[in-house]
Chains A and B, each alone.
Chain A
Amino acid sequence: MKIVALCGAGIGTSEILRVNALRALERLDVEAEVAASDVAGVAVAAAGAQVILTSPELVSSIGATNADIVVITNYFDLDEITAKLEIAVG
């Protein structure tokens, strides 16, 4: 399983999302690779990914993808991230 955490610049917010996604996956007992990416690199980063995690503002920047797009409102809310990931990977 491959998951991409997406932000505008590829530093900062996507890394927070990546770290907390790993914690959420641990709660769910799901093994996955989680990579951080910026919008410019998403087509490459998300190739073969099942899930793209991102903010509501960035959804329209993603373009065509086969991955499930999971929108996270509060990047620090492990309950929100866990619940949404559980639906996406379940």
Chain B
Amino acid sequence: MTYELPPLGALPDEAITIGAHAEDWRAAIRVVADALVASGAAEDPYGERMIALVEQFGPYIVIAPGLALAHARPGPDVLAPGLALVTLAEPVAFGHAHNDPVSVVIGLAAAEADQHVASVAGLANVFNDPSVIPALAEAASADEIRRLLSRAAEPGLS
């Protein structure tokens, strides 16, 4: 099926939460789930399903130092393909041997298993620059986050 997520640099305000306070990794995932719900991508059960995935397989979603990519399988609680991004005021341990603590959590929702491709390739373009995760963690505004997410996606910089 055709699928196109909005460009990363066009994430709506509702999908961005800056400086959230989370006491543990479950709370951090719930914050990003709230942002997915607020931006219309998912309904409430999706957050608990993202948590369940980590409970089942461990903290493998912490895919780079300081960054967790929270997600779950497609399901009826996904309303539209979407991304959300949360920065944490205090970094949180997910239990990953190498990449803890986490200061940036991205939530990914896909309604079909093949819907992630375009958006995820874009994420790879952005985060292959190792300076982006600490810069996002320090960002003070949604505009700054959008600027960082669109910067590396510009032609010629990938």
Contacts and interface: CB of A to CB of B under 8 A. Distances in A.
Given A7-B60, A57-B60, A12 B71 contact: yes
Contacts of B64: 74-77
Given A73-B98, A76-B130, A12 B108 contact: yes
Contacts of A19: 120-121, 124
Give the interface size class of chain A.
20 to 34
B interface residue count range (under 10 / 10 to 19 / 20 to 34 / 35 or more): 20 to 34
Interface of B is mostly: mixed
B71 A13 contact: yes
A7 B130 CA distance: 22
B101 to A, nearest CB: 15
Interface of B: 53, 56-61, 63-65, 67, 69, 71-74, 96-99, 108, 110, 113, 115-117, 120-121, 123-124, 127-128, 130
Interface of A: 7-13, 15-17, 19-20, 23, 38-39, 54-58, 61, 73-78
